């Protein structure tokens, strides 16, 4: 399947859940294994976006960590809009004129939001909710990146 963009969830998908403030030197951001290198690879092939149910402060903290902001063209979160994930995915798709986006998330509500927003979905089984029946499941961020880079040429 050919995609024109990748939209990513934040906590659980790119960042280890429940680690806010754990490492003050990293501004409290603790990335899942392979995320930094994976974002570099994805960014060379696709425009990247974030849609998360986090607060504004958490999203800004992530974007300011290790120049993460430079990888993403746009982002949205519950803290900015008060809207749920479905509405925020739809807004990012419309705002950026995306035709065939894929959403990467790690929870059952992420899969539901992608379906409701009419975008394809990849499940990060290493995140919050484990394996999701009926979804494309991947056990590492690197596996997700390899799949997208190698199968969507």
**Which sequence spans correspond to the domains of the chain?**
5-151
Neighbour tally for 52: CB within 10 Å: 27
pLDDT, residue 17, reads 79
pLDDT-derived band of residue 129, with 50, 70 and 90 as boundaries? confident
pLDDT-derived band of residue 98, with 50, 70 and 90 as boundaries? very high
Q: List the single range of 12-16, 86-90, 140-144 with lowest mean pLDDT.
A: 12-16
Which residue has better confidence, 61 or 47? 47
Q: CA 139 to CA 68: how far, in whole Å? A: 23
Homologous superfamily of the 5-151 domain (CATH): HAD superfamily/HAD-like (3.40.50.1000)
**Angle, in degrees to the nearest 10, between helices 35-43 and 141-151:** 20
Q: CA 15 to CA 27: how far, in whole Å? A: 12
pLDDT-derived band of residue 23, with 50, 70 and 90 as boundaries? low
The rounded Cα 87 to chain-centroid distance in angstroms is: 15
In the chain, % of residues over pLDDT 70: 91
Q: Quick one: average pLDDT of 70-75?
A: 98
pLDDT, residue 74, reads 98
pLDDT-derived band of residue 153, with 50, 70 and 90 as boundaries? low
């Amino acid at each position: 399947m050919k995609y024109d963009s990748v939209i990513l969830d934040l906590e659980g998908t790119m960042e280890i859940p429940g680690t806010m403030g754990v490492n003050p030197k990293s501004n409290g951001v603790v990335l899942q294994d392979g995320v930094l290198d994976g974002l570099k690879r994805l960014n060379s092939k696709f425009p990247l976006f974030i849609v998360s149910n986090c607060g504004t402060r958490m999203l800004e903290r992530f974007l300011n960590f290790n120049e993460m902001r430079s990888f993403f063209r746009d982002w949205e979160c519950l803290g900015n809009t008060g809207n749920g994930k479905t509405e925020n995915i739809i807004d990012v798709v419309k705002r950026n004129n995306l035709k065939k986006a894929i959403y990467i998330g790690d929870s059952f509500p992420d899969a539901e939001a992608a379906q409701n927003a009419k975008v394809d979905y990849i499940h990060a089984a290493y995140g919050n909710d484990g394996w999701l029946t009926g979804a494309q499941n991947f056990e590492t961020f690197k596996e997700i990146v390899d799949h997208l880079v190698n199968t969507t040429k």
